[in-house]
Structure formats: C-alpha cells, structure tokens
C-alpha cells in the first residue's frame, strides 16, 4: 500500500504526459483553404492604381488611382468609370475608347493594389502587388518570414473576420481579395514543429503507465 501511495504522484505526471502526447497526435486544426480560380478574379476597386500604355503614343501613356467615386483619369479620355471591372473588361473598354482617337491603337492596361501584410515578417505593412504576384511573392516583398526557419503558414484575413489558408504557389489575383482584406503570416505552432518528439514522449508514457499499473496491482 505504501508503495502505491508513493507512486501516485509519479503516475499522475505520467498520465498528464500521456494526455499531452495524445493531443499532439491529433491532426492540427487548420483554416479552410482559399478558393483558387483558374483565371484572375480581381475587379477594379477604390484605391487601385491603373497603368495604361498606348504604344507609339507616349502622351497617352500614364497611371491613375481609382477615386472614391470609382472612376480613374485616362489621358485623352478624361474620367472613366472603372469600378467593378475585371482586367480583361477594362482592357477592352479602354481599347475601344482609344480606337476613336488613334488608328489601330495597341493598348496595354495593368493595375496594382496595396495589401496589408502583418504577422511574422521582417517588414510588416502595406505591400504593392499586381495580377502576377504570387503568395510567395508577397511574402518576399515583406522581407521574408521570421521565426523557426520552416515554411510559415500564410492566411488571407477577410475584413469580415474569416480566415483562409493561401496556397503558396497561387497568384493573388486568382483569389477573391478585396479592399480591406489582409495577409497574415504565422510561424507553425510549437507542437506541430515538435510532433515527433511529443510522439516519442507519448510512447514512453504508455510504457511507464503499464509498468506502474502492474506494480500497483502487485502491491494491493
């Protein structure tokens, strides 16, 4: 009986370790993965910067920011309502408008926007991205991740509070990212990084529990 009472504190510690080991063997809780489209899904929004180039017509080349009213100024065209247009729609619209001023115009239209990047990055803050920027690209623009040195988890944080995991190779423009959304970079959880160690501890705890359980039965 005395041996059993002496073993009880140790058995309690072993049980705690065993429970912790079981917890670490469960699948890590992950946010849902963001839906990635095969084509760009971004639409022109307030604050976006539109760059227009009309080949052989340098006076018509320039850039403008989309105003609160959803319009942008184009050289030779004046204010044009662009809010809600996709890049393809904007390209076609601007091309048609310049065709009334220039014979057979060759027009290229691109746009960029600012995204807030925060979390475990070297340079948190706003980053300018365009339709070609990938998830890893925006991480590089923020100076890279800090922390364990392992690949970080990268989340899209919607302005309504929802979080989604961003696939690393995806282009940002293929994901629904709107004004007010942000990107959060997080180092992997300690237990995820040390799953192997905690799994070994769990196995040791299982063996110890069996041994001391047998001792307890023998000393009754």
Q: What is the mean pLDDT of the chain?
A: 80
Question: Tens digit of pLDDT for each residue in 40-97?
Answer: 999 999 999 999 999 999 999 999 999 999 999 999 999 999 999 999 999 999 999 9
DSSP 21: H
Q: Is the pLDDT of residue 191 over 70?
A: no
Dump pLDDT digits (tens) for 116-162.
999 999 999 999 999 999 999 999 999 999 877 678 899 999 999 99
Nearest alpha-carbon partner for 3 in 217, 163, 159, 148: 217
Q: Provide the token pair at 82.
A: 């662009």
Q: What is the pTM of this model?
A: 0.69
Answer left, alpha or beta for residue 144, where phi above 0 means left and psi between -120 and 50 means alpha.
left
């Amino acid at each position: 009986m005395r041996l059993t009472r002496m073993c009880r504190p140790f058995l309690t510690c072993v049980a705690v370790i065993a429970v912790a080991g079981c917890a670490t063997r469960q699948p890590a809780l992950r946010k849902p993965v963001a839906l990635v489209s095969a084509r760009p899904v971004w639409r022109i929004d307030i604050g976006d910067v539109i760059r227009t180039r009309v080949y052989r017509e340098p006076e018509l080349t320039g850039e403008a920011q989309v105003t609160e009213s959803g319009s942008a100024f184009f050289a030779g065209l004046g204010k044009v309502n662009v809010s809600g247009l996709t890049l393809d729609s904007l390209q076609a619209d601007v091309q048609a408008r310049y065709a009334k001023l220039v014979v057979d115009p060759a027009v290229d239209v691109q746009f960029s926007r600012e995204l807030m990047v925060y979390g475990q990055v070297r340079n948190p803050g706003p980053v300018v991205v365009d339709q070609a920027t990938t998830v890893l690209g925006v991480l590089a623009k923020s100076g890279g991740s800090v922390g364990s040195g392992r690949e970080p988890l990268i989340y899209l944080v919607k302005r309504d509070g929802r979080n989604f995991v961003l696939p690393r190779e995806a282009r940002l423009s293929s994901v629904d990212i709107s004004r007010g959304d942000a990107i959060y970079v997080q180092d992997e959880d300690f237990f995820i990084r040390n799953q192997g160690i905690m799994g070994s501890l769990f196995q040791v705890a299982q063996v110890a529990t069996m041994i001391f359980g047998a001792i307890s039965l023998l000393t009754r």
